[in-house]
Structure 1
Amino acid sequence: MKQQKVNQRATFLITAVVLLVVVLLIGILSYLLIAGLPHVSWHFLTSSAASFTAGGGIRDQLFNSFYLLVLTILISLPIALGAGIYLNEYAKDSFFNQLLRTTIEVLSSLPSVVVGLFCYLFFVIQLQIGFSILAGSLALTFFNLPLLTRSIEEALHTVPNLQREAGLALGLSNWKTITNVLLPVALPGILTGVILSCGRIFGEAAALIFTAGQSAINVDYSNWNPFAATSFLNPLRPAETLAVHIWKVNTEATTPDAVSISYGSSVILILVLLLFNFCARFLGQRLYQKLTATTKKR
């Protein structure tokens, strides 16, 4: 009887905490949507930012955020995939592997300002890359690698050993078993980790202030030459992202409608982050159902 009362109190406490978190989240989202949606329009999404006049938009900042996101994923995903495969399939219990895991954990806990300052001193100053999308992508790779590596390692770890034994029993090498058997089964978990890391990249601001820069030059969206200075595909041009734009508008407030721009930009940022999270859950579930259905048919 006593244990039953303790269990009921614990259940009530956990439920209350969960409801509190949900209420706080709904409250924050509701406030931002109510305050920001009236300022979002097609003109706001498709026009360039204005420095000293009202009526500016977030076209360039929004594109820069997605461009930097794609470039960061292209850089970090192959590295994280190799690290995740090594840690789960090849790494033994040794001092070097323990040191590697500790390094990944430390890297994931570093403050973004510290990483941004290091990347500024190394990439922007020492390597003379300058404030650019490339420098920002390299900086965000430091944030993305630990999350992606852990996601891939965990996805591979959840694959039953029976799958490995079946591949080896068919005469496949260890590498062939990983690439042809384990990775397809672990694909839903890997894809979920990639999409969630996209949300973290898209919302990062502190590191990009030191690397990608706080200015967005006028780019030519009809120029597909990535080596041209004004091309929208040029990775060496400075690029202010949406998250940095929100910070800059609030700190400088040089435009008359700075509050409206800030609210509208925040709504777009929140909606994109929610889209990333919903896509992660939806695609992960669909891929899992498809793979398990295929397995059952066989």
Structure 2
Amino acid sequence: MRPTTAERNPFSSGRSMNRLRNHIFTALVWSIGITVILFIFGLLFLILKDGLPKLSLEFLYGLPSEIEEGGGIGPMLFNSFYILIISLIIAIPLGMAAGIYLAEFAPDNKWIGFVRICVEGLASVPSLIFGLFGIALFVELFEVGLTILGAAVSLAFLNLPVLTRVTEESIRAVPQDIKNASFALGGTHLQTIIRVLIPVAQNGIITGICLVAGRAFGESAVIILTGGVSTSGEMWDFNLLSPGANLAVHLWYVQSEAIVPDAADIAQKAAAVLVCIVLTINLLFRIPLWLSSRRLK
């Protein structure tokens, strides 16, 4: 009697079963990925379909109206960029410096381990807590009121833990051989960090900056508590002590508190502007990475 295929090769049935499981798992991953992508595009479509066709320059640069319809979002849009830039100017150097210290200079002991746990905990703390901290610092201690300065610094505090952890993990992910090669060529520790570690880790660092920038631009809880729900009423107000309501706060205010007749239209258009700008910020941060990767190829 001739032996069957399974008897001649006892591992063939196991390979067939593994191949079947691999196909099932691949199909499952593809299905989940496509579903998530379709959900994201569907969400973007729902947000943009009503507001995007109605946008105009008058709306983007116009002053808001409390009673009459047809108001714009000019001061709030300016405050959004102004607060974002100030917060990034504060958060990026401090966050990167802290991350580089933890990755390259901090000793490996229980105290530094506790510091890392605290940083990770702060990265997951709700933004409302940082808003309350901003009130305690700027409103009660310094008595400057609800201002652009308070909103920007509070946002910087909100983003610091994330930037610190992202920078530290990106620096640690650089292969040790690259670092040793820099030392072998006579580079100092500082030169190795500036010319080797940071350029190699720039993908992760820029991704972290991109995430915190998008979060800061769309933040509302911190701004409401530290910047207020109003503006000075001027389009280009660079005074750091002016009220600091941004676009996200205005969107919340129009949707919940405003009495203007076209509140729904203003909310739809403001939401479309907010989403488009956040997507643009992500794209602008990605362009240097794409150009760098193409040069390397």
Q: Which residue of 1 aligns with 2:280?
A: 275
Per the alignment, do residues 75 and 65 of structure 1 end up closer, same or farther by CA in structure 2, a change over 3 Å counting?
same
Structure 2 residue runs without a partner (length 5+)? 1-15
| 2:138 alignment partner, SS class | helix
User: Which of 96, 108, 132 is the matching residue for 1:93?
Assistant: 108
Q: How does 1:97-116 map to 2 (within 5 A)?
A: 97-116=112-131
Q: Which residue of 2 aligns with 1:156?
A: 171
Q: How does 1:125-204 map to 2 (within 5 A)?
A: 125-204=140-219
Shift of residue 133 of structure 1? Answer: 1.0
Q: Which residue of 2 aligns with 1:68?
A: 83
User: Aligned partners of 1:59, 1:255: CA distance in 2, in Å?
Assistant: 17
Residue by residue over 1:3-56, the C-alpha shift from the partner in whole angstroms, topping out at 9 and shown as x without a partner, is 222222222222222222111111111111111113211110111111111010
Shift of residue 108 of structure 1? Answer: 1.0
Shift of residue 188 of structure 1? Answer: 3.9
Q: Which residue of 2 aligns with 1:47?
A: 62
Residue by residue over 1:169-214, the C-alpha shift from the partner in whole angstroms, topping out at 9 and shown as x without a partner, is 2333212221233223333432332223211110111111100110
Counterpart amino acid of residue 110 in structure 2: F
Is the 8 Å Cα contact of residues 117 and 210 (structure 1) preserved in structure 2? yes
Counterpart amino acid of residue 180 in structure 1: R
Task: Please state if 1:27 is matched with 2:32.
Answer: no
Is the 8 Å Cα contact of residues 39 and 261 (structure 1) preserved in structure 2? no
Is the 8 Å Cα contact of residues 63 and 235 (structure 2) preserved in structure 1? no
Is the 8 Å Cα contact of residues 61 and 235 (structure 2) preserved in structure 1? no
Sequence identity, in percent?
37
Counterpart amino acid of residue 6 in structure 1: R
User: Which of 251, 254, 267 is the matching residue for 2:256?
Assistant: 251
Structure 1 residue runs without a partner (length 5+)? 222-231, 294-298
Is the 8 Å Cα contact of residues 108 and 146 (structure 1) preserved in structure 2? yes
Counterpart amino acid of residue 197 in structure 1: V
User: Aligned partners of 1:186, 1:31: CA distance in 2, in Å?
Assistant: 36
With normalisation by structure 1, the TM-score equals 0.89
User: Aligned partners of 1:280, 1:4: CA distance in 2, in Å?
Assistant: 41
| 1:129 alignment partner, SS class | coil
Q: Which residue of 2 aligns with 1:2?
A: 17
User: Aligned partners of 1:157, 1:172: CA distance in 2, in Å?
Assistant: 18
Give the aligned length.
282
RMSD of equivalent CA atoms: 1.7
| 2:201 alignment partner, SS class | helix
Counterpart amino acid of residue 249 in structure 2: V
Is the 8 Å Cα contact of residues 120 and 165 (structure 2) preserved in structure 1? no
Q: Which residue of 1 aligns with 2:242?
A: 237
Task: Please state if 1:117 is matched with 2:129.
Answer: no
Shift of residue 220 of structure 1? Answer: 6.2
User: Aligned partners of 1:266, 1:274: CA distance in 2, in Å?
Assistant: 12
Q: How does 1:213-224 map to 2 (within 5 A)?
A: 213-219=228-234, 221=236
User: Aligned partners of 2:293, 2:101: CA distance in 1, in Å?
Assistant: 24
Residue by residue over 1:200-249, the C-alpha shift from the partner in whole angstroms, topping out at 9 and shown as x without a partner, is 1101111111001101112263xxxxxxxxxx111111111000000000
With normalisation by structure 2, the TM-score equals 0.89
Counterpart amino acid of residue 191 in structure 2: K
User: Aligned partners of 2:194, 2:178: CA distance in 1, in Å?
Assistant: 12
